[in-house]
Amino acid sequence: MNRALDVALAGAGLLVTSPLLAAAALATKLEDGGSVLYRQTRVGKDGRDFELLKLRTMVEGAEGMGAGFAVDEGDPRITRVGSFLRRTSIDELPQLWNVLRGDMSVIGPRPTLRYQVEQYDERQRRRLEVRPGLTGWAQVNGRAALSWPERIELDVWYVENRSPKVDLQILVRTPLALFRGTYRGAGGGWRS
């Protein structure tokens, strides 16, 4: 049932947002001529790696410059177009394709990088019992204002308490979190 709902929501989402995605891709390409999509290996359900898709928001090769994978607000590697895409979370829309492929779900803990997963304790590894999501309990409960351990704890709470009611609460609260600017979809700070 969850998978069918994921496919329906992701398919509808891609259909509805395709003009926005096309405009964002064109703006990204026109700004510096680089690639439009950014691909990064993330950790999914049961600890399996998958290729996460995003619109590129940083200069090409940003991982090898400056702070590497760490990204702070105002990072000079972020492009002008990329700054807008990040602020509005439009850069996350290609992950609807990850949902269609089955790598992700619409709702679940945000996927993180391998080095972050290697630091999890046994309880925190429970995050890996479900597919990672586009949005989740930590994102609608102040993600940008929370510490990393607090976000992980909220994700574990979600895994232990997930239900259609909780998923509906997350879906309803996500647009409000986006509007307030408190939502940041990515786990771990790296957003290219």
In a domain, residue 186? The reply is no
Amino acid at 121: D
The one-character DSSP state at 112 is B
Amino acid at 16: V
Identify the band that residue 181 occupies on the pLDDT scale cut at 50, 70 and 90: low
Identify the residue with better confidence: 172 or 75: 172
In a domain, residue 191? The reply is no
pLDDT at 187 over 70: no
Phi (first) and psi of residue 51, to 5 degrees:
-95, 110
pLDDT at 33 over 80: yes
Residues 6+ apart with CB under 8 A from 46: 128, 129
The one-character DSSP state at 121 is -
Beta bridge partners of 58: 78
SS (H, E, C) 33-97: CCCCEEEEEEECHHHCEEEEEEECCECCCHHHCCCCCCCCCCCCCECHHHHHHHHHCHHHCCHHH
Q: Give the strand pairing for 37-43 and 49-55.
A: antiparallel
Instruction: Give the domain range for residue 39.
Output: 2-180
In a domain, residue 185? The reply is no
Beta bridge partners of 50: 42
What domain count does the chain have?
1
In this structure, of 38-52, 76-90, 154-168, the range with the lowest mean pLDDT score is: 76-90
In a domain, residue 64? The reply is yes
pLDDT at 182 over 60: no
What distance in Å separates the CA atoms of residue 88 and residue 101, rounded to the nearest whole number? 24
pLDDT at 157 over 70: yes
Token pair in block for residue 102? 């089955």
- DSSP H/E element including 176: helix 164-180
In a domain, residue 156? The reply is yes
Average pLDDT, the chain: 89
In a domain, residue 50? The reply is yes
In a domain, residue 22? The reply is yes
In a domain, residue 187? The reply is no
Phi-psi group of 74: left, alpha or beta (phi > 0 → left; psi -120 to 50 → alpha; rest → beta): left
